[in-house]
Amino acid sequence: MGNKLLLMGGGEELGFFCPGCEQYHSFRFRRIETKDGPLWRWNYMNEKPTFSPSLLVNGATEKRCHLYVREGLILYLDDCWHGLRSQRVAMKEEEADPQVLALLPVMA
Ligand SMILES: [Zn+2]
């Protein structure tokens, strides 16, 4: 119930559905193989995920999508190409991904 994230990118990325672009985007949150590139901080929550800093997709193109994910909401910035710019939207619920669930802290 309430799962928002899917494990992607060889286990290094957490994906979520972007209703503005109508496709999945992902945050790279850990390195499994040694590669260059930025990592995002994740709050280790699946139902109300927060990532920082912001995510910029297709930044140099006309299909630019720029957003924050905060506590299960997508906060679109005003430089997005699509109609959800400047809006906040609840993340799409996903089937539970056992690989994501395995990453979560164990609740006492
Ligand atoms: Zn998008």
In tens, the pLDDT along 21-72 reads 999 999 999 999 877 889 999 999 999 999 999 999 999 999 999 999 999 9
Question: Is residue 107 in a domain?
Answer: no
Q: How far is the CA of 102 from the centre of ligand 1 (A)?
A: 27
Question: Is residue 24 in a domain?
Answer: yes
pTM listed for this prediction: 0.93
pLDDT at residue 1 tops 70: no
Question: Is residue 108 in a domain?
Answer: no
> Average model confidence (pLDDT) for the chain?
95
- Residue 50 sits in which domain range? 6-101
Tell me which residue has tokens 């006492």: 108
State percent of the chain over pLDDT 70.
Answer: 98
Q: How far is the CA of 103 from the centre of ligand 1 (A)?
A: 25
Question: Is residue 106 in a domain?
Answer: no
Question: Is residue 1 in a domain?
Answer: no
**Which residues keep their CB under 5 angstroms from ion ligand 1?**
18, 20-21, 65
Q: How far is the CA of 41 from the centre of ligand 1 (A)?
A: 19
Name residues whose C-beta falls within 8 Å of residue 25's C-beta, 6 or more positions apart in sequence: 15, 16, 18, 55, 57, 65, 67
Q: How far is the CA of 107 from the centre of ligand 1 (A)?
A: 32
pLDDT at residue 75 tops 80: yes
Question: Is residue 18 in a domain?
Answer: yes
Q: What is the pLDDT of residue 33?
A: 82
Number of domains within the chain: 1
Q: How far is the CA of 65 from the centre of ligand 1 (A)?
A: 5
